[in-house]
């Protein structure tokens, strides 16, 4: 199956989840993520703002701010295909709809953060395999962004079980994740054992 066929199939299955399924599974995933050693150690984390039927990140963001962690969210530059990390102080007040209707820092609430300051990135995606290979939406935004972080920055991908596929064949720029968290399990991937750069 080609990348675009897998994207289409997984997005269709994810869009078919009910509101209640998305809410329940997201709660289970966020609970597991909050318990991860790497999350607990992180002083500053970047999180995506969920869209459509992505695993919800609202509670993760609220909880992180309440715990005194610094939370960073991406501003999308669609022309340059780049993400600009921005410090989030008030959730959701600092956000307004941006590219594709996804919430992002509102004009005047942009507080740029150096990618090298980020300890952990909560990565969005369409499909993954158990080795941490990742299929995104096809823009290469995260594949351009992740190499700007530190060698020890931890990448965790919240995903529903239906997003885990037997095999995703990575291309030259594809950045794998260290850990997958689903409603059923936590998967530390191959990348975690071999370190960055595969
Ligand atoms: N670091 C990079 N430098 C140059 N081109 C890149 C880089 N990363 C990705 N690309 C290019 O961007 C395009 C989209 O990449 P890909 O299909 O892997 O997107 P994706 O991983 O699904 O998207 P995203 O990272 O936004 O979730 C490809 O043509 C890829 O070669
Ligand atoms: Mg990619």
Q: pLDDT-derived band of residue 194, with 50, 70 and 90 as boundaries?
A: low
pLDDT reading at 167 higher than 50:
yes
Closest Cα to atom 14, ligand 1: which residue? Answer: 140
Specify the DSSP class assigned to residue 117: G
Q: 7 C-alpha vs ligand 1 centroid, how far in Å?
A: 14
Residue 48 domain-assigned?
yes
Q: Which atom of ligand 1 is nearest to the CA of 81?
A: 26
Residue 33 domain-assigned?
yes
Which of 178, 172, 93 is closest to 128 using CA atoms?
178
CA distance 183 to 139: 27
The total number of structural domains that make up the chain? 1
Decide whether any atom of ligand 1 lies within 6 Å of the 144 Cβ. yes
Mutate to test the pocket of ligand 1, among 129, 140, 165, 176 (most ligand atoms within 8 A of CB): 140
Across the chain, mean pLDDT equals: 95
Decide whether any atom of ligand 1 lies within 6 Å of the 100 Cβ. no
pLDDT reading at 196 higher than 80:
no
Residue 196 domain-assigned?
no
Residue 195 domain-assigned?
no
CA distance 54 to 48: 10
Residue 64 domain-assigned?
yes
CA 5 centroid distance within chain = 21
Which CATH number characterizes residue 109's domain? Answer: 3.40.50.10420
What separation, in Å, do the N-terminal and C-terminal C-alpha atoms of the chain show? Answer: 24
Residue 9 domain-assigned?
yes
Q: Percent of the chain beyond pLDDT 90?
A: 94
Q: Residue 67: give the domain boundaries.
A: 3-190
Residue 77 domain-assigned?
yes
pLDDT digits (tens, 9 = 90+) for 74-124: 999 999 999 999 999 999 999 999 989 999 999 999 999 999 999 999 999
Q: What is the CA radius of gyration of the chain?
A: 16
């Amino acid at each position: 199956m080609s990348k675009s066929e897998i994207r289409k199939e997984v997005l269709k299955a994810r869009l078919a989840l009910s509101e209640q399924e998305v809410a329940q599974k997201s709660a289970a995933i966020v609970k597991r993520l909050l318990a991860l050693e790497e999350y607990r150690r992180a002083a500053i984390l970047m999180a995506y703002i969920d869209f459509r039927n992505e695993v919800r990140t609202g509670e993760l963001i609220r909880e992180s701010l309440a715990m005194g962690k610094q939370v960073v969210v991406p501003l999308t530059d669609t022309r340059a295909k780049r993400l600009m990390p921005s410090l989030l102080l008030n959730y959701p007040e600092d956000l307004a709809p941006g590219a594709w209707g996804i919430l992002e820092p509102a004009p005047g609430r942009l507080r740029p953060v150096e990618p090298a300051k980020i300890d952990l990135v909560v990565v969005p995606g369409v499909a993954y395999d158990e080795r941490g290979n990742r299929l995104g939406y096809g823009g290469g935004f995260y594949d351009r962004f992740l190499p700007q972080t530190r060698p020890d920055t931890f990448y965790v991908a919240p995903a529903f079980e239906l997003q885990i596929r037997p095999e995703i064949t990575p291309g030259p720029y594809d950045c794998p994740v260290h850990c997958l968290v689903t409603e059923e399990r936590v998967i530390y991937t191959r990348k975690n054992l071999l370190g960055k750069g595969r």
